[in-house]
Amino acid sequence: MGIGKSKQTGQIDRLVNSIWRNSYFRGLNNLYSKSISINAARAAGAQGPTFLILDQVDQQLDKDTLPSTLTNLSINKYNQPLLPNVLPKGLKTLTLMGFNQVFSAGVLPSSMTDLSLPNINRQLKPYSLPDSLTHLDIKQYTGSLSFQVLNELSTLEIKHLYPCVTAAIWGTNSITITCNKFSPWINLQQTPIQHLKIHLNSPDRVTLKTEFIPKDIRSLRLCGFKIESPGLIPKSCLYLETDIIDLNTEFIPSTTIHTFYDDKGKDDVSNKI
């Protein structure tokens, strides 16, 4: 049932208006609905909710539609244009399932830290992502991120990890990357990254080249890769996690502590430093 499509929209609007006028509910700051209309969401906004989850929105979001107090917004299905001055300025977390639209710089608030657009695969425009992002989920994206540096980014989910993507993480100190395809020509050697976790979700392992590993790396997790030569892991690396059962330890520095990683998170090198 989509927003704006239900015959009961008017009844739902009146119900939500009634609920939020009731003093008992005014202290609530969360609202979840599978089928309320945009007008109902706006009515709820009069009482200042900070968290809003909607199941499906079939119409374009317009200015002043969403409560200005929102810090967290999740829509389970939204694939309409996203225009400037629509999202609340204080929004920190945004999840839009099904979204695959081009949007311009300034559309996403500068306050945002967590962005999930798991279905987007159209080329992102330059500077369309807030510099403040710490988490970015664009797991179907195959385009470039070379137009922007995201120094605060600590988690990146992307379909293809190519050199045109790594520019975005050039200034970060610690990051976790999940991807489905990996270019062996990626060079992170001169980056300031000291803590790196990379998960390659592919049936075929990729052989890493020396240039990929940051020269000052301290903790490293490699899943889906091969280590087939000495010198690949820098001596600065104190902790190494891999999913390689039969890793030849002659290929890692004697000062590096190696742990087998089983995808259950029992051993986490980021907590050891």
- The answer to whether residue 14 is domain-embedded is no
Give 80-102 as a DSSP string. S---TT-S-TT--EEEETT----
Sheet of strand 155-158: strand arrangement: 30-33, 51-54, 72-75, 93-96, 114-116, 135-138, 155-158, 174-179, 195-200, 219-223, 239-242, 257-260
For the chain, helix (H) and strand (E) counts, in that order, are 3, 16
With a cut of 60, say whether residue 175 has pLDDT above it.
yes
Number of structural domains (the chain) is 1
- The answer to whether residue 23 is domain-embedded is no
pLDDT value for 209: 87
- The answer to whether residue 143 is domain-embedded is yes
Residues 201-226 have pLDDT tens digits of 999 999 988 889 999 999 999 999 99
- Residue 190 belongs to what domain range? 71-266
Total-model pTM: 0.81
- The answer to whether residue 140 is domain-embedded is yes
Q: CATH number of the domain that 142 lies in?
A: 3.80.10
What pLDDT band is residue 39 in, cutting at 50, 70 and 90? Answer: low
**Alpha-carbon torsion 138, 140, 142, 143, what sign?**
negative
Residues 138-168 have pLDDT tens digits of 999 999 998 889 999 999 999 999 999 988 9
What pLDDT band is residue 56 in, cutting at 50, 70 and 90? Answer: confident
